[in-house]
Each structure stands twice: as structure tokens, then as C-alpha cells.
Amino acid sequence: MQKSDIRILIIKYDPTLGRAVEYRLKRSCYQTQLTTNYSDSINAAKLVDFHGVVADCMLPQKSGVDIAAEIKNESGHDVVVILTSGIFKDKVFARDAIMKTKAKTFLHKPFDIEELISNFDEAFGDIIDGSIEPLHQLLCREQYSPRDRISAINRTEYAHGFDLPFIYSLLLENQIVGTLEIQYDEGSVPTKIGFHKGRIDQVQYPDTESYFGVLLIEKGFTTKQELNEGLNQQNEKPIGQRLVDSSSLSPHAIDIIQHEQMIIRLSKTIQDTSVKICFTEEKRSEPSVFIDGILLTQLLSDWICSKLTSGWLHTFYTPWLESPVLKGPESNKINLLKELPAAKPFADFIAQNNWPYSLQSLLADDPKTENEFLRAFHFFALQRMVVFGSSSNTVENFEIKTARLNKILAGFDGKNYYEILGVSRKAKPTEINRSYHDLAKSLHPDKLHKDSPKELRDLSQNIFSKITVAYQTLNSEASRAAYNKTLEMGQAEDILKAESSFEEALRCLRSSRFREARKAFERTLSLKGARSDTMVYFLWAYIKEKRNRANHVDVASKVSACLNKVPHEDRHSAHYFFVKGLYYDLIGQAQKAYKHHQHCLAMDPYFNDAKRELTFIKRSFNAKKSMTLTDDLSMVVTKLFGKKSG
């Protein structure tokens, strides 16, 4: 049975509250019918076989408790009842009402509708077959219309912040025009992303950091002195217009900077948290500054490498492990995208192999590169180069499955309950329920083949027990609050430990002990509380340690891969440009190295390491120029006197 097949009767005396409950249940994919009194409720139950009932206790003619009991007795099967009341606060009344109706719970008004949804999701979890979030259902469809895309997004309502790259790619369609609202916290100012016929034309993100001045200097459009003079002007005009008015900036530079600013803010929306989403179709004017499909594809690759965690990707794809993977409708795009960082390691593998495979067998192909493969696979899935089939005809391979479950169990070590379920710490009860049931459908011991060996059954039971403990802890408001306090204490310790490790590494770096610094930054990166720019400092130490070695190919390859893991919004600091300069020098591109060190000094004139690198590049360039001049003179002398001396 699909979730959309489940029918719920809502009996509410207050039609306004009734419609609010009905709206939310429909958004969660349930079928609903709203009534306000006894006769309408009983007549509805005679015509429709309901699976669930939400009943107000205080109703005219007859109480909601009696109506729910009557419907349940007449139905001939178990009906999930949830009772609500804003008048009956007595615990004895609630207990008696639950006993009479065998209700799942009694909610006192005002209650959280999410708690009501969560109770239904839990109650129906065992009878729903392959319940997949509407948004994720698109991963197993070869074709879907613009209407399907919008409907899937608006039926999802709550999503993980790591789902946003998929949502952006869905809305970047030529027939879609409107605004996506993203809310990170209740009552907070929503982020607004505007879409206009295959382009993103607005990123309204509540960011305290402007980036405008930094980008102007970074791009070489102005100097730090001119920027400060513009900021000190006493007028209400934006800084860009002030600089234009004072002839310190060309007007065309404003569009370029606004475009870059849009990219940074869009990148900042991808967060490890729960988000409430809603897309509204509305007319929009033709944009002058925008992000098109080609650029978004590059950004998707960046985000998958730098934003999405390996833990989230593993949990996200766990319910799909045994599903067949097919070539998608856009599989011919592989040659166009194969050089992008997310795709490059496995593009040839995806392009050359015959299909279908199960994801489980694909992951088993090379355990050492599993995390990289999953990132590449996610990129291919978002680009519709691969899709999941509806059923699997593959023969059960107990060896592969045992190895897979052993990895899942080992992966739980060091993870908190949120990470085990693949949800954020701000996840709503419905998200926690959904994740638990998705994982249960693929990892429950009852789902194993009847001939599965005892080792596999014991392993599955162990995994499922850990998932259940995580779910039970987070599903209870009281136990979740207590668990969060424990996590917060541990998080503070993690941050202090990471800060101490970072400072130790920085001291080694400043005293030119590059090998020690590299190892210390590696330790820092492994800690949960590490600073977001730790990777940049690690690369600084790593390049300095390795740059004098003869073979730079492997070093350059690793540096390139690590640079892709730096989030886009962290790529506009003096330290980042300094490291990029070191990288270009490493691969023999002196002009690019020189340019990046100049950018570094433009942002921080006191960055002495960058000054030394510029001096080194100049000396190297002058030496090569001198050698070239000597060689040229030698050739002239040889031509003039070579024959005579012969």
C-alpha cells in the first residue's frame, strides 16, 4: 500500500483548525475528509473505509470519543485513532478515552500538527510499501513534467538542506517561473531563490556579510584604499554606485560582482540542517544577472565535493542499495561533464559499463574509493544520467550483502543518533519517522532472504537495534531534549579540542616545520569541531612540505582534489589565494601563481609569505630570461663563426 492510499477522517468542530490539519495531512500524502458533526462523520464512514481518524472530544450531538469508537467498531479492521481536545485537560479523562477507543495518543490543544503527522507515520509505517518521499520518487522516473517537479517539491514541505542542490536542478527548467522559499528556523526571515525559464535570477539570503568589497578587490576592479574612501562617503547610495560616481569603478563591474555574490550566497544555502520549502509560481521580469544551467551544473559538482558529507550520502542511499541502477535519459551528457571534479574519477566507468547493476554491487567494486564513487553517483543521479529501476531481478548475493552490512555497522562508530538516521539536529518528527521507516524497509531482519545465513541475520539484527535505539530516543520529546544537552556538551569539547589542535598546527607552520604542521592539520581535520578553513591551512603545509620533491604529479593531484573540498564561500580569503598561488607554482604555471599571490596581497598587504613567493617567482623568471638571452647569443655566435671554425 502506498501512503497516498491511506484515508484519514478528520472530525473537527472548528472548521479553521480542521482545514489546517487537513492541509498538513495532504501535504504528507494522505487522503483526507473533513467533517464537523456526528451525522456527517458516520455517513462518511459508511461510504469510505477509513484507516485513521482524528477526532475532537467536544462535538455537538455526540462526543468525538463515542464517534471514533463507533467508527472503529463498525470498520471491521484496526483504525488508528488520535484524540484531541482543548477543554478536557484531566489525565483520567484522557486515559479513559484512550482505553475506550484504543487510541494511539491524546493530544491537548494547542498541539503541534507535526506531532500528529508523526504519530500517523509511525502507525502506518509497517503497511506502507516502499514509501519514498515525493521529491526522491523522481530519482526512479525517466520522465517528469514541470508540473511533476513543482508538485514533488511542494508535497515534501520539509527537506534536508543537502537536498537543495537536487531541488535547484529540478526548478531550473525552461517552463518554470517563480520563487522558492526556504526557511531554516521557525519565525526566521526566509531565503528566496528566484527562477526564470532555466535561470536563477535572485538569491535573497539573510547574510550579514556583503562580500561586495572583497570581490571588487579580488577581481582587481578597485584598490583597498579606493574602497575605504567610498565606504567613508556620507550618502545612502550602495558602495558600488559610490565608486562609480567617483570614477573609481567601471559600471559594468557591478553586474560581475553581483553575479559572483549570487553564487556565494546560493552556496551558503546548502547546510546540514532541516529546511521548510515552498515553491510559488509567479511572474518575474527578464533577469540581467543570473546563474544558468551550465554554471549550476558546475556548482552542483562543487557542492557535492565540498558540502555534502559522506555520512549523509551513505544514509541517503542505504534504502536504494538493492535497487537496479539504469542508464538515465541524459546518459549521453557524460562526455560533456566528465572533467568536472565530482564526475571525473568514475565517468569512464559509468560510460563504458553495461547496465543494470544494483547500487550495492557497484559500491562493492572498489571499497577503497567508495566515498568518492558515491559522490560521483549522486552527481550522475542529479544530472539524470542514471535512474533507479522499480524492481530488482538480481540474484541475492549473501557475501556482498554481509560485507555491506558490516560496513554500515562499522560506520555507526562515532556517529550520533541524528547521523545514524541521516537527519539534521533540527529535523522535524515527521523527518525522523520517515528516515527510520526508510531504513527499516531495507535493513530490517525480516527483509532478508529466507535462505540468509545466521551471520547475516545476526548482523542485520544488530544494525536494526542501533537504528531503533536512535529512533526511540529522538522520537520522544523528553529523551530528545536530554540527548541534545549531552550532544551540546560534547560539541563544546570537540570545538575546544579542534581549536587546540589547530593552534598547535599553526605554530608548526609559522616556524616552517611543514611536515609536523601537515600532520597536525590532518589530525584537526578528523575532529568534528574543526574550522571550515582548516583544509586551506593543511594544503599550505602539504605543498610546502612536498614542493621540492622531484615528482609533483601525485602531489598536484591531491592538492587539486582537496581544493575542490573548500566551500565556495571560503574561496575568497587571502589564505585561499595564497594556497592557490602555491598550487599553480607547483604545476609550473608561474603567471597564474604570480597573479594569485598579488590577489592575496591586495586583500592583505601584510601577508609576508605571499611577498616572499612573489620575490621567488620574479627571481626565477629573471633567471630564465637571462638563460634564454645567453642561449640566443650562443646561437648567433655559432651561426657566425661555426663554418669558419669548421
Nearest 5°: the CA angle 349, 354, 356 is 105
Q: Is the pLDDT of residue 646 over 80?
A: no
Percent of the chain with pLDDT over 90: 52
Percent of the chain with pLDDT over 70: 92
**How does pLDDT run across 129-187, given as a tens digit for each residue?**
555 778 998 998 888 899 999 999 998 888 999 999 999 999 999 999 999 999 998 88
Q: Is the pLDDT of residue 196 over 50?
A: yes
Angstrom distance (rounded) from CA 336 to CA 301? 13
Going from the C-alpha of 275 to that of each of 423, 520, 570, the distances in angstroms are 11, 35, 22
Angstrom distance (rounded) from CA 585 to CA 594? 8
> Do residues 178 and 559 lie in contact, with contact meaning Cβ atoms separated by under 8 Å?
no
Of 87 and 82, which is predicted with more confidence? 82
The answer for residues whose C-beta is within 8 angstroms of residue 572's C-beta and 6 or more apart is: 211, 214, 215, 218, 264
Q: Is the pLDDT of residue 291 over 80?
A: yes
Residue 645 is predicted with a pLDDT of 41
Angstrom distance (rounded) from CA 15 to CA 21? 10
DSSP run (H or E) holding 277: strand 274-281
Segment 86-115 mean pLDDT: 88
pTM over 0.85: no
Domain layout of the chain by residue ranges: 3-124, 553-566+574-646
**How does pLDDT run across 322-351, given as a tens digit for each residue?**
888 888 899 888 889 999 999 988 888 777
Angstrom distance (rounded) from CA 197 to CA 287? 10
Q: Between β-strands 357-358 and 386-388, what pairing exists: parallel, antiparallel or unpaired? A: unpaired
* Cell numbers given for 16: 479553521
Highest mean pLDDT among 192-196, 337-341, 366-370: 192-196
Q: Is the pLDDT of residue 627 over 70?
A: no
Residue 5 is predicted with a pLDDT of 77
Angstrom distance (rounded) from CA 277 to CA 407? 33
> Do residues 176 and 146 lie in contact, with contact meaning Cβ atoms separated by under 8 Å?
yes
Second-level CATH architecture of 553-566+574-646 = Alpha Horseshoe (1.25)
Which CATH number is associated with domain 3-124?
3.40.50.2300
Say which amino acid occupies 391.
S
> Do residues 436 and 381 lie in contact, with contact meaning Cβ atoms separated by under 8 Å?
no
* DSSP codes of every residue in 454-474: HHHHHHHHHHHHHHHHHHHHH
> Do residues 475 and 118 lie in contact, with contact meaning Cβ atoms separated by under 8 Å?
yes
Pure H helices in 157-274: 164-171, 212-218, 224-231, 239-245, 252-268
What 8-state DSSP symbol labels residue 389? -
pLDDT band of residue 635 (cuts 50, 70, 90) is low
Residue 579 CA from chain centroid, whole number:
26
